[in-house]
């Protein structure tokens, strides 16, 4: 009888052919340590640039799956971490593009309200609601830059690498985005429906 394995979407494949499976970039223990160290930061980034914690769960898993299959050499821990955020950014960007084609909102404020884990009784609930509304009024790029710079503490060069922008332009873009968010937070903006961060 033929030795083989049935793979979903592919059919039966000889086991000998699967000997050519490339090993993942890390062993399981190293991956678990790296994941424990970085996953909550990547999840926070994804949930705040998409406004959807369920989407953040899915994108987080896909980010690490692609990271493990990347087969790259890391110059440093920072390089490895920045690459992780770059994958996450690209996945969020693809999701945003798909949502635009389907004409659904990329940052759904109501969904964010429902899915971000917080309750009215929790301390700082109002401030978080203000932040959520303010972020909803920014463009995806502005949300990404602000989060990387001020929540993650990334340098301008790291932000440029992660977002695929020129490092020289980051300072000005960040300054404008920061002013915009500061004004929105100070004004305590009312809820609004947004498409890709643009106010209707």
Partner 1 sequence: MRRECVRAADLLAAMTAGPEPELSNDELRRHADACESCREMVTVVSALRGERERVRRTTTVPSAGLVWWRAQLRQRQQAALRATAPVTAVHAAAVVAAVVLAVVLATSVAPFVGMPSLSNWVPAVPSWVASPGTLATDFPLLRYGLMLGATAWLILGPVALYFALRRD
Site residues, partner 1 (CB under 8 A):
4-14, 17-18, 20-22, 24, 28, 31-32, 35-36, 39-41, 43-44, 47-48, 57, 60-61, 64-65, 68-69, 117-118, 124, 127-128, 130-131, 146-147, 150-153, 171, 175, 178-179, 181-183, 185-186
Rank residues 47 and 106 by Cβ distance to partner 1 and give the closer one: 47
Nearest-angstrom CA–CA distance, 106 and 136: 9
Minimum distance of partner 1 from residue 151's CB (angstroms): 4
Minimum distance of partner 1 from residue 104's CB (angstroms): 24
Minimum distance of partner 1 from residue 101's CB (angstroms): 25
Rank residues 10 and 101 by Cβ distance to partner 1 and give the closer one: 10
- Residues 125 and 135 sit within 8 Å (Cβ to Cβ): no
Q: What is the Cβ-side half-sphere exposure of residue 34, based on CA atoms within 13 angstroms? A: 15
- Helix/strand/coil for 81: helix
Nearest-angstrom CA–CA distance, 110 and 103: 16
Question: Quick one: how far is CA 169 from the chain centroid?
Answer: 22
Rank residues 152 and 195 by Cβ distance to partner 1 and give the closer one: 152
Rank residues 167 and 183 by Cβ distance to partner 1 and give the closer one: 183
- Residue 6, H or E segment: strand 5-7
């Amino acid at each position: 009888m033929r030795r083989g394995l049935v793979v979903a979407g592919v059919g039966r494949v000889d086991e000998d052919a699967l000997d050519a499976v490339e090993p993942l970039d890390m062993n399981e223990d190293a991956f678990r340590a790296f994941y424990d160290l970085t996953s909550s930061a990547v999840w926070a980034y994804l949930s705040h640039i998409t406004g959807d914690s369920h989407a953040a769960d899915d994108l987080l898993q896909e980010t690490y799956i692609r990271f493990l299959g990347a087969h790259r050499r890391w110059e440093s821990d920072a390089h490895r971490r920045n690459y992780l955020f770059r994958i996450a950014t690209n996945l969020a960007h693809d999701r945003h593009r798909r949502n635009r084609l389907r004409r659904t909102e990329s940052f759904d404020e109501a969904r964010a309200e429902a899915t971000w884990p917080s309750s009215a009784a929790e301390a700082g609930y109002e401030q978080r609601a203000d932040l959520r509304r303010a972020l909803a009024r920014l463009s995806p790029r502005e949300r990404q830059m602000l989060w990387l710079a001020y929540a993650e503490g990334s340098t301008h060069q790291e932000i440029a690498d992660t977002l695929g922008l020129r490092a020289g332009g980051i300072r000005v873009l960040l300054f404008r985005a920061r002013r915009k968010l500061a004004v929105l937070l100070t004004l305590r903006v009312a809820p609004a429906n947004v498409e890709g961060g643009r106010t209707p």
